[in-house]
Amino acid sequence: MFVITWRTLNINEPLSPPLPGITPALDPLFRPASLACRHFQKQVRASGRPEPILIAIEQADGLIYHFHTEIFPEHSPGAEANYFHIERILKFLLWSRGGWRIHFDGPESIATKLKAHYRDDPTGTFDSNTVSERMFDHPLEIIATKNIPPERVQSQALGRHLKGCRIGFDLGGSDRKAAAVIDGKVVFSEETEWNPYFQNDPQYHLDGIMDSLRKAAAHLPRVDAIGGSAAGIYVNNRVKVASLFRGVSQDVFNSRVKNMFLEIRKLWNNVPFEVVNDGEVTALAASMSLGVNSVLGISLGTSTAGGWVTAEGNITSWINELAFVPVDYHPDAPRDEWSGDRGCGVQYFSQQCVGRLLAPAGIEAPKEMPFPEKLKLVQSLMKKGDERARKIYQTIGVYLGHGIAHFATFYDLRHVLILGRVTSGEGGDIILNVAKEVLKLEFPELASRIAFHIPDEKDKRHGQAIAAASLPKII
């Protein structure tokens, strides 16, 4: 079925795309964006009058990224689907690229609806406020124009500095990690459970980070540099937006969180210090370990982290926040608890997804049980050969296969690294194998082009820490 809006779902709609060839065992209503977009484009071309659309997304420093698509001509059969297609594409661009000004070469009527969406709709205002205002320091603008500015892109090298005595840390939603690294070799690492999401006093976060750094430093003769990864957006070591601090009020965030890592650097005698988005470090770790580029790293943890390393081995100015990109177009797709939007990545590629699938699988767990504990429950059942647990992993595998196919529209993928707690053990093998089968069946051209990778045990333990530790350059 093809979804025109969140509120209408007509199984007789002539644009209805085929159902997934492999049905998610626990989610028969799943309507992947990958199939919906492909079918929409096929029908547009079949109309004989495809109308080209060019979207340019501009960032605060003048960088501009282009994206091309096609829609039905206005007032033609099928044109009622145009807005939904464009709105979902633009949401993906906002959360994968990031920016504050949208140049739109397309129908004025669609531009008008987009402006109203980002001004008035709760999900639109969340995207506008979080991405454009908080990350890029400007209110979102949408400009309908035929004079699209030329593309201006930028990439830069990230990390790969291994000499010296370094600390690498990673801050997740359920645990924080720290490692001591000497000339690229891990001499100590530790993982500590914590619960940062809904703590309203950032002293909790600061104390936890300092505790991990001190434990790592105790295993080094000196500390030459500190590098870290964390969920969120960081610019020049300043916190712009981070789910780790979602429990902190905006006033306290502005006064105590924004410059927290600058404060930590001072506490460590101003050694070279870099903290970046955890997804970027995930992709960097894959590139370093595998010796390849054009890598999209996806971590299925408490949330969903994404990172992109270009064919040249660099990172871009893209934000790659795959937790918020739309991957399911069903009108009753699960809501993201933070943005309120439906069908976003976090509900398909994370511990939250595992928790959501417990009930459909027939597995009982207390509602208040934390997501990491729900994952442990499923993992323990999987070890016992429980078919209900297997169905959870099979379902996530279908999600992932279609997710990768959709991501390939926006990234020139050659390699995909899949990691995170959800992928541990036999369940991770099921996820990966099912995802590969989805690509072979539905997208054979991608199956022959994209290689999947799961880190080995050494990389699982130390890869992220080494990559994080390699971020600062010692001058």
Predicted structure pTM score: 0.88
SS3 breakdown of the chain: % helix, strand, coil, rounded to 5?
40, 20, 40
Instruction: Write down the mean pLDDT value for the chain.
Output: 92
Compute CA 228 distance to the chain's CA centroid, rounded to the nearest angstrom: 18
Closest CA to 468 of 225, 137, 134: 225
Asked if residue 362 lies in contact with residue 399, where contact means CB atoms within 8 angstroms, the answer is no
Asked if the model's pLDDT at residue 7 lies above 90, the reply is no
Could you read off the pLDDT of 276-324 as tens digits, one per residue? 988 888 889 889 888 899 999 998 988 898 999 999 999 888 999 999 9
Q: What is the mean pLDDT of residues 350-356?
A: 97
Q: Which residues pair with 192 in a beta bridge?
A: 176
Q: What is the DSSP letter of 124?
A: H
Domain ranges of the chain: 3-155
Say what the pLDDT of residue 117 is.
98
Sign of the alpha-carbon torsion through 319, 321, 326, 328 = positive
Asked if residue 68 lies in contact with residue 29, where contact means CB atoms within 8 angstroms, the answer is no
Say what the pLDDT of residue 457 is.
64
Q: What is the mean pLDDT of residues 359-363?
A: 98
Could you read off the pLDDT of 97-145 as tens digits, one per residue? 999 999 999 999 999 999 999 999 999 999 999 999 999 999 999 999 9
Could you read off the pLDDT of 197-253 as tens digits, one per residue? 889 999 999 999 999 999 999 999 999 999 999 988 898 899 998 889 989 999 999
Asked if the model's pLDDT at residue 15 lies above 80, the reply is no
Asked if the model's pLDDT at residue 14 lies above 80, the reply is no
Q: Which residue has the tokens 């506490």?
A: 267
Asked if the model's pLDDT at residue 4 lies above 70, the reply is no
- CA dist list (Å): 369 to 355, 375, 414, 438: 9, 10, 38, 32
Asked if the model's pLDDT at residue 8 lies above 50, the reply is no
